Amino acid sequence: MGFLDFLLSILNVVCGGSSPPDEKPSGVQKPPRPHPPPQTQAPLPSGAWPTLPSQAQHPAGRHDYPPDRQQSQHDRTRYQDQNQSNQQNEHYTSLRANANHEGDEMAKCFQQSHEAYARREGALAKELSEKGKQHERTMEALNAEASAWIFRENNLVR
């Protein structure tokens, strides 16, 4: 056994690693693993979560914001109402509708392209595929514009 083999066997003993399956055991035994301690608490009912110390100390049971930073119910409702009103905006809905139309056209072109390819009409399949890709790019641009618009509107400081 060479010096490197000796060091590897010591490393395996210390780290608890195992030797590869094609090697013979080196005669060095691993120390026994300790058993986990027995449970001292009663198991929780099905679906229950343990109470964290921060939850037990906080009167509202919330620990994500300090009490002075928690949003009031009015603030949450105001933001939610504003988000919903923006989703009904004519500009936003027209952008999404146009994007959906482009997506339908894209799917139609790709389907026709597959059918043309199956009929061994390669030139037509290529043309329809390129047309479908153009519809895809337009759809993505419209969705990106709608997304940017609603993000900007929802996050305006009023």
Q: Specify if 100 maps to a domain.
A: no
**Structure confidence by residue, pLDDT tens digits, 8-37:** 788 788 777 655 555 555 566 667 777 666
pLDDT at 101: 97
Q: Specify if 140 maps to a domain.
A: yes
Cα→Cα distances 84→10, 26, 27, 71, 147, Å: 65, 70, 71, 19, 14
pLDDT at 87: 86
Q: Specify if 151 maps to a domain.
A: yes
**Structure confidence by residue, pLDDT tens digits, 34-93:** 766 666 666 666 655 656 555 555 555 555 555 555 556 656 555 556 667 788 889 999
Residue 105 pLDDT exceeds 60: yes
Q: What is the average per-residue pLDDT within 143-157?
A: 90
Q: Specify if 42 maps to a domain.
A: no
Q: Specify if 25 maps to a domain.
A: no
**Structure confidence by residue, pLDDT tens digits, 108-136:** 999 999 999 999 999 999 999 999 999 99
Tell me the residue range of the domain where 135 lies: 120-158
| Confidence category of residue 7, pLDDT binned at 50, 70, 90 | confident
Residue 149 pLDDT exceeds 80: yes
Q: Specify if 155 maps to a domain.
A: yes
Q: How many domains does the chain have?
A: 1
